Structure 1
Amino acid sequence: MNSGGLSLYSMTRHLKYPFSQEARTMSQKLARDLGDLVKFVSLPENEHIVEAAEDRVYRALKDGYIQYPPFDDERDVLIYPTARVIVEGVRDSRLRAKQAEAEEKAVNRELGKEKPEFISEICATSFKWKIESTGDLSERAELPLQLRTFDFRIRFENFLEVSPMFKSREWALANRFLSRGWVLVRRAELVRMASAKFRQIILGSRLELPPLTGRLTQSVERIQSQLPKKREYTRPEETQETAFPPCMDLLYRTLKNGHHLAHAERFTLAAFLNKINVARDEIKRVFGYSPDARGAGSIIDYQVDHIASKGSRSYDDDSEDTGYMPYNCKRMRELGICPVDKGDVFDPLCEYVVNPLSFYNRRAWEVSKGYKPNPAYYGKNWEKRQEF
């Protein structure tokens, strides 16, 4: 099948930026929906599409890297959607995360080479973002000195679609230059926003697949065989203080040393101890070290009982009342009680979890097996969930 009049340059862009309006339109001309797509790529003459899609998924899984094949046929625009079909056919969140990360990196790499006009246009047409140029260098020379490095302005609501995905403080809206609803961004920042938006789309989409047959089924099975086996992180019967995440370890030691904890700190520590199956009497004993403890029947006893007996159920417990969940990492950072975020301590495992309980389960498993923390293993097998 020929290119239908499209230039090689245009087709290559369709392959690099499958989220673009042009790429989606071209894909739908060949296959209107998932049913059509599966039928189309299952034809013997289109087998190369499935092969390229499988290779794209395999490289994302093993190398975290997307390599584009030679692009000289308009059917090749279906390589990316076919790769998505394979990933959804495997039904593994780890693979979806690997694909999203690799595709994000590829877009960031390739879009960073494009001219500013193209970057702005593809963001506007693909994501419906409102973006304006701040002008060329001569025009920006009239701006205050601190604003001359910004290439674009984007509506704040579009900025907020992806900025919470970035943990660096410069991405907080409060730290940006905002005027009449427009946020100033640099060229590299807009590229990063676009690639992050693509990742967000992949992670947030779930495809209702028709039955897969033939070559597609083989691809799904082969990719499935390449996935590392999931490890079960069973919680130990006895509490292991050495497995506490840095935040809980600090709060626990602060309390046992007789120092005061703020209300939020007390709440999350009590909830954490309860969720890792520390006996309620033991939690009360620990909180008895607080300077304002007044013995049995005190307000602290009441608070511990309330935290331990109300709220949400744990995921693996069928009892009616299992207590409140401790704050997750995001909330801990917002409250200013995450010591890793403040730079006081660091543990590499923190980057791969989003709540203290996940940290405890994984670290307790490591301790029980005699394993030392292994950042290289974390990076190879898990998706990084936050950065410090």
Structure 2
Amino acid sequence: MSSFIQPLKYSFSQEARHTSQKYARDLGALVDFLERPDNLYIIEAAEKRVYSALTREEIELPDLRDERDVLIYPTARLIVEEIGNPQLRARQAEAESKSVNKQLANEEDQFVIDLCRSAFGWEVKSVGDLNERAKLPIQTKTFDMKIHFTDFLEVAPDFHAEEWKLVNRYVDNGWALIRRRELNRLVSGKYKQIIQFGRLDIPRLPARLAEAVQRIETEMKGHIQQATPFKIDGQINSAFPPCIQKMYDDSISGQVNLSHDARFALAAFLLRIGMSEEDVNQVFGHAPDKDNRLIEYQVDHIASKRSMTTEVQGYFPTGCKKLQTNNLCPVYAGTTFDPLCEYVLNPLGFYSTRAWEVSKNITNHSWYAQKKDKKQFFS
């Protein structure tokens, strides 16, 4: 593949953007361009690309035998943004990101380094060949690249594994050591952010593109559930602690992939307060990367665990300290506050107290200081 065609595979690349603008300088020009009979294949390919994302199938990147193929991606984005469904947008971001990550594995190191620089302005360098890396300390020999820590932090916080926390990386004079596969993940993660959080000002769509939108909307009914999981009554819902409320809202939004720690904490809590396994499965059934069989297995495992010290089945919900360590406590993070949090050490303690308050119509929480001892403090 020629050195010019190669980067066109990546719609976020500088070359792909320049080529797109050669045919359509903005979205208005793009829809005009798509109305031409000889360009209808672009709409068909874009619709297929969106359908693959909707059904969680692998997206096939175009072979770029024609330069106009670079317009397939922005046309697919037009379809999704016209529909405006957050779950569909999340699935598109997930599918496009996975496709890019897979494709990057076939590229040479220097190509990916150059792509990072031209597309995102990232500073990425090679640590050196095997002979040069042999001179490094033994604990760093497995790293073949380094990225400036500020660029690393643009994406790494979106990943939940401990290895992606900067405090767990080898950092030398502002450079975080990474492996090539990790760089691929960072690039695809950045691309996911662009799709997930980017918004387009949609112009009037031509008839053929509007028809594609209607077909995808029809298909969505069989693939995307509306966010109407387990109906929690007002009393129970208002008794959720801030951490559980955020995880619950994130899960049913269909826009967020909860971390393993968050899924465990939420599932254990919901099961312990009496929600059925089926309803808990439904709570997790909106995630962009959902796997129904895996969800059912994990929920069943959490629900069936029997403690040696109690007859109650199921894991005990994660405590406050562990939630804080895992960045799952919004009060500890300073994004919200509830005075009851200072008097409990587990979300269940919050829940039982707040549910009692709600049942008694108690809205003045000053009694905490008179009747309870503080167990933690938030500055």
Compute the TM-score of the two structures, normalised by the length of structure 2: 0.66
Alpha-carbon distance change, 38 to 151 in structure 1, aligned in 2, over 3 angstroms: same
Question: Are 2:343 and 2:368, in contact at CA under 8 Å, matched by a contact in 1?
Answer: no
Residue by residue, what CA displacement relative to the aligned partner does 1:153-188 show, whole Å, maximum 9, x if unpaired? 111100000010111111110011111111111100
Gaps of 5+ in 2: 237-269, 281-313, 321-339
Inter-partner Cα distance in structure 2 for 1:36 and 1:262: 54
Does 2:197 align with 1:204?
yes
Superposed, 1:61-140 pairs within 5 Å as: 61-140=54-133
**Matches for 1:252-331 after TM superposition, within 5 Å:** 263=342, 265=344, 272=351, 279=358, 281=360, 299=369
Q: Which runs of 5+ in 1 are unaligned?
A: 1-6, 253-260, 288-295, 305-334, 336-388
Rounded to whole Å, the distance in 1 between the matches of 2:32 and 2:347 is: 53
Residues 128-207 of structure 1 mapped to structure 2, 5 A cutoff: 128-207=121-200
- 1:204-257 CA distances to partner (integer Å, 9 max, x unpaired)? 1010101112111001101111113514233236748213998985669xxxxx
Q: 1:349-374: per-residue Cα shift (whole Å, max 9, x none)? A: xxxxxxxxxxxxxxxxxxxxxxxxxx
- SS of the aligned residue for 1:65 comes to coil
3-state DSSP of counterpart to 1:242: coil
Aligned length: 280
- Give secondary structure in 2 for the equivalent of 1:208: coil
The answer to whether the 8 Å contact 2:123/2:147 transfers is yes
Partner of 2:299: none
Question: What secondary structure is seen at the aligned counterpart in 2 of 1:224?
Answer: helix
| CA distance in 1: counterparts of 2:115 and 2:17, whole angstroms | 12
User: For the residues of structure 1 that align with 2:139 and 2:23, how far apart are their CA atoms?
Assistant: 49
Distance change (3 Å), C-alpha of 1:220 and 1:275:
farther
* 3-state SS in 1 of match to 2:274: helix
Distance 1:70-1:17 versus aligned 2 partners, 3 A rule:
closer
Change (3 A) 1:195 1:265: farther
The whole-number CA distance in structure 2 between the counterparts of 1:279 and 1:39 is: 57
Q: Which position in structure 1 is the counterpart of 2:5?
A: 11
Contact 1:12-1:71 at 8 Å conserved across structures: no
What are the within-5 Å matches in structure 2 for residues 368-383 of structure 1?
A: none
Q: 3-state DSSP class of the match of 2:199?
A: coil
Deviations 1:274-314 (A, max 9, x none): 87796254999xx9xxxxxxxx956265899xxxxxxxxxx
Given the superposition, is the C-alpha separation of residues 216 and 242 from structure 1 closer, same or farther in structure 2, using an over 3 Å criterion? Answer: same
Q: Are 2:215 and 1:219 equivalent residues in the alignment?
A: no
1:11 is displaced (CA, Å) by 3.0
1:236 is aligned to 2:229: no
- Is 2:41 the counterpart of 1:45? no
The answer to whether the 8 A contact 1:17-1:107 is kept is yes
Structure number with greater Rg is 1
Matched with 1:60 is 53
Higher mean Cα deviation, 134-143 or 67-76?
67-76
In the alignment, the residues of structure 2 paired with residue 43 and residue 98 of structure 1 have an alpha-carbon distance, to the nearest angstrom, of 29
* Separation in 2, partners of 1:159, 1:274: 42
Helix, strand or coil: the match of 1:212?
coil
Deviation at 1:10, TM superposition (A): 3.8
Q: Indicate conservation of the 8 Å contact 2:235/2:358, yes or no.
A: no
Letter in 2 for 1:91: G
Contact 1:134 1:151 (C-alpha < 8 Å) held by counterparts: yes
Cα displacement string for residues 329-355 of structure 1 (whole angstroms, at most 9, x for unaligned residues): xxxxxx9xxxxxxxxxxxxxxxxxxxx
Q: Aligned AA for 2:369? A: I
- Separation of aligned partners in 2, 1:187 and 1:53: 30
Match of 1:352 in 2: none
- Rounded Cα–Cα distance in structure 1 between residues aligned with 2:139 and 2:368: 56
Three-state SS of the structure 1 residue aligned to 2:93 is helix
- Deviation string for 1:107-166 (max 9, x for gaps)? 000001111111111011111001111111111111111111111111110000001011
Partner of 1:33: 26
SS at match of 1:54: helix
Instruction: Tell me: CA distance 1:29–1:299, structure 2 relative to 1, closer, same or farther (3 Å).
Output: same
Compared with structure 1, are the counterparts of its residues 219 and 169 closer, same or farther at alpha carbon in structure 2 (3 Å cutoff)? same
